[in-house]
Amino acid sequence: MLFASFDFLLFFLPVLGAWWALRRRPWARTAVVLAASYFFYMASSRPVDGSLPTPWYFAGLLAFSTVLDYVCSARIHRLAGGAEEGAGAGRTARRRNLWLTASVVGNLSLLGYFKYTNFFLEAFTDVANGLGASWVAPHLELMLPIGISFYTFQSLSYTIDVWRGKLTPEPSFLKFAFFVVFFPQLVAGPIVRASEFLPQMHVRPRLRLEDVNEGLFRIFKGLFKKVVLGDWLAVAFTDVVFDTPGSYTSWENMLALYGFTLQIYADFSGYSDIAIGVARLLGFKIPENFDRPYQARSLGEFWRRWHMTLSTWLRDYLFFPLGGSRGSAARTYFNLWLTMFLVGMWHGASWNFVIYSNIHGLAMLFNRWNRLRSRERGMLATLLQLTALAALAGFTMYLFAEHVLALEHDLAVRGGALGGAFTWICAAFPVTGGRLNHVGHVVLTFHFTVLSRVFFRAETLESAREMCAQVLRWDGRGVRPDLFKVQWMEEWVMVATAPATSLREAGVWVSQQGMLLLLVFGTFWHFTPREWVDVRLRRWMLALPAPVIGVAYAALAVVLMNLLTGPRANIYFAF
């Protein structure tokens, strides 16, 4: 069951009505939405083509995580209340640690088994074959439970916070289970902390006009991003190029990278907007997940703006416990690399994501070094330092292109040269400055993100290699005139302009450039100030008479339904 579907509307309206009808009966209200959340999860886990039934154990895994963390956190808290001293205190601490270990191992073992088992088997096979051994690993037919990465982290953080003494366990198992499986954010986030959500469970919900207005605005904004800038752009353009990159020119492959960069943001942030809006209609506030990430001036800032609930989760539960930046420089760089590596590997289990993780991990190390390095050296010393760094980066890129991606020698040399030049420009660019300096940093960060996404989106390493080769080949050919053509739009223009042939030429041109115009519009929209949409547009909408707002939302719903290209799951369902 997808947010951008009529099925979800048929599901959500009765749930919304039952929630508010039972507002004076908290136990019944919680139980109804808890059951609805399990139904939503199982319905969402079914393949959109209906080819396979939902495995029964998906609900069992969700229930297991819920029971495991509820029991472990309760035992940890009970042991913390003891007054033992000396040896008794040591035994109590060890017992608390054992319960925490049970929670961590239980949760992460399930996540690792379903998500990474086949990749580890394939990796072992590749390494063994590379060493001369002939061995074929078995492939397990595992169906990844959707949302397992999200609800595992969400439930696990609750136990860790209780162990740290930052949170008192929720006495009601029903309310805790509601927190874990709350359907708006269950399968694709945002990742919600218990300290943010559970206090809202202890307050009688109130249906306020402000919540309704905000909820509807966020839902329709999210639907527009998901359906138009996400799904439609993917089906009509980016998926086509990524499926067979060798069939398209260098320009077309590069535009597909820009297109996917917009698509993945619109898809995931649109889903998050809908989740936030649906939760708001139920009287709950869940955290923001995106803050115009492509406007970031550095990679570190990008990850503070992109999937913010995951970034802050790994910061608080991995980077800081490892020591953060409090230790030596070497330890700080290791902590930073490991955190970023796990951020990348959280997204998927394949060699592509190993590469993607290391690219971003090493770039974060460079980002920190470049920000902290001394800039008081003379011009000649600085120039030599930057040149040596660029040469190292370029040589590494060359080795990677020739020996990992197996590109032709001249393409590998070209990739190394471009990598070295890009590194030199990033290092030489002043850290601070005026508006032009700000724009320069944004452009560099944005293009690093765009280029690295080839390993995120490509289905296989071979597909990524083919796209990299096409981009580096730079064949000099342009974009085919019909690549961005929207057939149904051209047909509509021909019918609509029949009485006025003078408008037909302009309308046909728009239909022929439809995808390109959409790509330009979506990118421009992202780079506008957040206030333009989230504050000014919202304020303008709410100033309209209620009937006008209703008609506008209805008209937008009709347009979006007509643009739907069929059921298309959120990209992050697979994570």
pLDDT in tens, 184-209: 988 887 999 999 999 998 888 888 88
Rounded-to-integer distance, Cα 410 and Cα 479, Å: 24
pLDDT band at 175 (very low <50, low <70, confident <90, very high): very high
Two structure tokens written together for 411: 């393409």
Tell me how far CA of residue 427 lies from CA of 276, 299, 377, 416, 447, in angstroms.
Answer: 39, 13, 14, 16, 15
Residues of the chain above pLDDT 70, percent = 87
Best CA proximity match to 182, nearest among 286, 103, 108, 96? 286
Inside any domain, residue 274:
no
Does the pLDDT value for residue 506 go beyond 60?
Answer: no
pLDDT band at 483 (very low <50, low <70, confident <90, very high): low
Two structure tokens written together for 173: 């198992």
Mean pLDDT of all residues in the chain? Answer: 84
Does the pLDDT value for residue 574 go beyond 70?
Answer: no
Q: What is the domain range of residue 88?
A: 6-204
Rounded-to-integer distance, Cα 156 and Cα 108, Å: 9
Is residue 409 among the annotated active site residues? no
Does the pLDDT value for residue 482 go beyond 80?
Answer: no
pLDDT band at 536 (very low <50, low <70, confident <90, very high): confident
Does the pLDDT value for residue 50 go beyond 60?
Answer: no
List of residues 6+ apart from 252 with CB closer than 8 A? 241, 479, 480, 483
Q: Considering 77, 139, 307, 347, which one is annotated as catalytic? A: 347
Inside any domain, residue 484:
no
Note the residue count of the chain: 575
Tally the domains of the chain: 1
Two structure tokens written together for 183: 């359907």
Inside any domain, residue 95:
yes
Rounded-to-integer distance, Cα 366 and Cα 360, Å: 10
Inside any domain, residue 128:
yes
Inside any domain, residue 83:
yes
Q: Tens of pLDDT along 231-255?
A: 888 887 888 889 888 888 888 899 8
Two structure tokens written together for 359: 């690219």
Q: Tens of pLDDT along 391-449?
A: 999 999 999 898 888 889 999 999 999 999 999 888 888 888 788 888 999 999 999 99
Are residues 248 and 277 in contact, defined by beta-carbon separation less than 8 angstroms? Answer: no
Residues of the chain above pLDDT 90, percent = 33
Rounded-to-integer distance, Cα 36 and Cα 16, Å: 11
Helix axes 514-526, 250-281, angle to 10 degrees: 60
Inside any domain, residue 26:
yes
Q: Which helix (H) or strand (E) holds 437?
A: helix 435-457
Q: Letter for the amino acid at 304?
A: R
Inside any domain, residue 43:
yes
Inside any domain, residue 115:
yes
